[in-house]
Amino acid sequence: MAKKINIRPTTSVYATYKNIRYDPWTAIAEFVDNSTQSYYDNIEKLESTKYWDGLTVDIEYRRDRVNGDHLIIRDNACGMDFRDFQRAIMLDSPPKKKSRSEFGMGLKTAACWFGKCWSVESAALGSGIKYKTTVDVESLSKYKNEEITVEETLCSTKEHGTTITIWNLNRTLSGTQIGKTKDQLRGMYRTDLRSGKIKILYNGVCLYYEMPKILTETLPDGSEKVWKKEVDISFDFNGEEKRVYGFIGLLDEGSTSGAGFTLIRYGRVIVGGYENAYRPEEIFEKSNSYVYQRLFGELNLDGWKVTQTKDAFDLYGGLEDLLIEKLKAECEDYRKKAKEYRKRPKISIDTGIDALVNTFSSAGIIDNAVVTSISKSDEDANNETIQSGNDQRNEEPNIIPDPTDIEIEGSNGKRIVFSCNGERYVFNFILKKNDPNSRWLNIVTSGDEYIVEWNIRHMFFKPYINDEHFLTIMEQFTFALALSEIEAMRLSVDGKIEPSSIRMKMNDTLKAVIEEGNNEQ
């Protein structure tokens, strides 16, 4: 049996929707809004069914070289009865209450923006009736039809959900647009995804939203402060109460793309997502400021007016100025902390030593290398040996670390046992981290072992110390220099070293390392 839907005022309007200012993700979001709102409006009814396992919205982009690409959006929400189905197809038929589907235009405008032909198929939970209609935009515009045929078929009363299929596409998705669309959707529906009750899939793969790491500061008394706080602001604007609630915080790692306020309405992001967050200069300052790169938050503006495409808020008439004023006062201490806080970069000494051994082994310079940690007792003994081998003995200075310097993790050194040119060597490779005034390199013999101490805090290295690549290179350079000096001594005649022998040995070692690196590339 078939029914008719009158779609006055004029069918030619449908053809104009392809010119609406959408992005692929904002157009797809119109369909996801309908699906999620259907779930929230009927959550008790859906969750009371024995077979219900949460809402799933499946976005499928099907490539077809013969028949053309198709965009398909399926959901297992509550579905539509005939009245809802009629409202979804008709122009100027908004829902009764404000929600994610506020204007009653999203399905029609987004479908027409994407393609020239589209269909809607839906069955309401418990109804046992499925409705389907197909819209040919060009035909409607040409023949000025005022009615669309709706097919009505029987189905199981357990069947529910809606499927939208779009073909003869005006826009196709490919390349970087696919990744950006998925990122934007996971950002827009972060609240839904975090709930664990809603799944959004793109070509069968679930979208997930990962909350950025929040700055946790260790205070002088040893306690920790997490730089995140809840906010709830209400104020009057032209006789109407406006409420903003959510949280603000500081990012653990500064990010020009990840910082900023995400503005949410009824649980769905309007401004922000994965980029283009709300960052008024009165609060965030210029793009090169620390506030711009570290301050962020999620703010709910339920009931606030949005544009028809739901990608911006209507903040005209002085509303934005008042909003900025309230937000700036709320996050003043966070702005101050963002300006003064400097996170110390970290690098692991242990990782650098492992890379050193792998590099020199691969280059054939050393063989049978075994790396172990140096115990505390061995470390103390090494320090005594180095002090006795120096011409001058300096007490360990009381150095106040520069808070902007890199934080060096791991042990102070490693014992490296290896073979080189048939000889067995034991290097106690030590990194001195606290004294900018001591020698940059000490090489001392201790029995049949060698103590190689590189002072990474030497003032000469300060401009480069925060570059982890520099540390890795200098570890390898220092090891090569120490090995060249010791090898030159071993091959010397009567203990006399030719002035050029260390340089020549060093040249051969570095050349082998570089050649091995080039071969790996």
> Is the residue at 124 inside a domain?
yes
CB within 8 A of 126, min separation 6: which ones?
157, 160
Lowest model confidence (mean pLDDT) among 34-38, 150-154, 191-195, 515-519: 515-519
By the 8 A CB rule, do 459 and 485 touch? no
Within this chain, do residues 374 and 488 fall inside the same structural domain, yes or no? yes
Indicate whether 468 and 515 sit together in one domain.
yes
Q: In the prediction, which pLDDT does 394 show?
A: 44
Together in a domain, 62 and 93:
yes
In the prediction, which pLDDT does 397 show?
45
Strand partners, 278: 261
Q: Exposed, middle or buried, 19 (CB in 10 Å: 0-12/13-18/19+)?
A: exposed
How far apart CA 189 and CA 186 sit, in angstroms, is: 5
pLDDT for res 388: 59
Q: 359: part of which helix (H) or strand (E)?
A: helix 349-362
Instruction: Label residue 93 left, alpha or beta by phi (over 0 means left) and psi (-120 to 50 means alpha).
Output: beta
pLDDT of residue 14: 73
Rounded Cα distance between 260 and 297, Å, is 7
Task: Identify whether 220 is part of a domain.
Answer: yes
The tokens for 440 are: 């940059």
Indicate if 386 and 270 belong to the same structural domain: no
Which residue would you say has higher pLDDT here, 192 or 445? 192
The parent domain of residue 173 ranges over 2-206
pLDDT of residue 265: 95
Residue 389 has what pLDDT? Answer: 55
Q: What is the mean pLDDT of the chain?
A: 85
- Give the pLDDT band (50/70/90) at residue 62: very high
Q: Is the pLDDT of residue 100 over 90?
A: no
| Mean pLDDT calculated for residue range 335-356 | 78
Could you tell me if residue 421 is inside a domain? yes
Domain final position from 340, 361, 394:
340
Judgement on whether residues 49 and 181 belong to the same structural domain of the protein: yes
CATH of the domain at 98: 3.30.565.10
Higher pLDDT, 10 or 52: 52
412 within 8 A of 429, measured Cβ to Cβ: no
360 inside domain: yes
In a domain, 85, yes or no: yes
371 in the same domain as 279: no
- At 265 the three-state DSSP class reads strand
Residue 395 pLDDT: 44
Task: Give the model's confidence band at 346: pLDDT under 50 very low, under 70 low, under 90 confident, else very high.
Answer: low
Q: Specify the number of domains making up the chain.
A: 3
- What does 192-223 look like in DSSP terms, one character per residue? HHHHTSEEEEETTEE----PPPBPEEEPTTS-
- How confident is the model at residue 194, as a pLDDT? 95
Q: Is residue 211 assigned to a domain?
A: no
Predicted local distance difference test score (pLDDT) of residue 128: 96
Give the pLDDT confidence of 426-474 residue by residue, as tens digits: 998 888 877 777 888 888 887 778 998 888 878 887 777 767 678 788 8
The token pair at 509 is: 């070692």
Phi/psi of residue 32, nearest 5 degrees: -65, -35
What percentage of the chain reaches a pLDDT higher than 70?
85
DSSP string over 471-497: HHHHHHHHHHHHHHHHHHHHT-BTTBP
Residues 235 and 157 in one domain: no
Residues 59 and 196 in one domain: yes
Per-residue pLDDT tens digits for 386-408 = 665 554 444 444 444 454 455 66
- The more confident residue out of 400 and 342 is 342
Q: Map tokens 């589209």 to a residue.
A: 118
Could you tell me if residue 369 is inside a domain? yes
Residue 219 pLDDT > 70: yes
Residues 443 and 462 in one domain: yes
- 408 and 498 in a single domain? The answer is yes
Residue 197: predicted pLDDT: 93
Q: Which of 36-45, 59-68, 271-280, 368-377 has the lowest mean pLDDT?
A: 368-377
Over 80: is that where the pLDDT of 246 sits?
Answer: yes
For residue 96, what pLDDT is reported?
Answer: 63
Whether pLDDT at 4 is above 80: no
How confident is the model at residue 52, as a pLDDT?
A: 87
Q: Distance between CA atoms of 16 and 195, rounded to whole angstroms?
A: 37
Do 39 and 116 reside in the same domain of the chain? yes
Which pLDDT does position 35 carry in this prediction?
96
Q: What pTM was estimated for this model as a whole?
A: 0.69
* Domain end point (choices 340, 375, 409): 340
pLDDT of residue 403: 46
24 and 91 inside one domain: yes
3-class state of residue 130 by DSSP: strand
Q: What is the pLDDT of residue 211?
A: 92
Give a yes or no: residue 196 inside a domain.
yes
Q: Closest by alpha carbon to 438, among 452, 464, 411, 459?
A: 459
Bigger pLDDT: 307 or 92? 307
Asked which of 206, 231, 249 is the last residue of a domain, the reply is 206
Q: Which range, 257-261, 318-322, 350-354, 422-426, is most confident? A: 318-322
Instruction: For residue range 14-50, list pLDDT tens digits in order.
Output: 777 888 889 999 999 999 999 999 999 999 999 999 8
Give the angle 197-199-201 at the CA atoms, nearest 5°.
Answer: 180
Check which CATH number belongs to the domain holding 245 and give it. Answer: 3.30.230
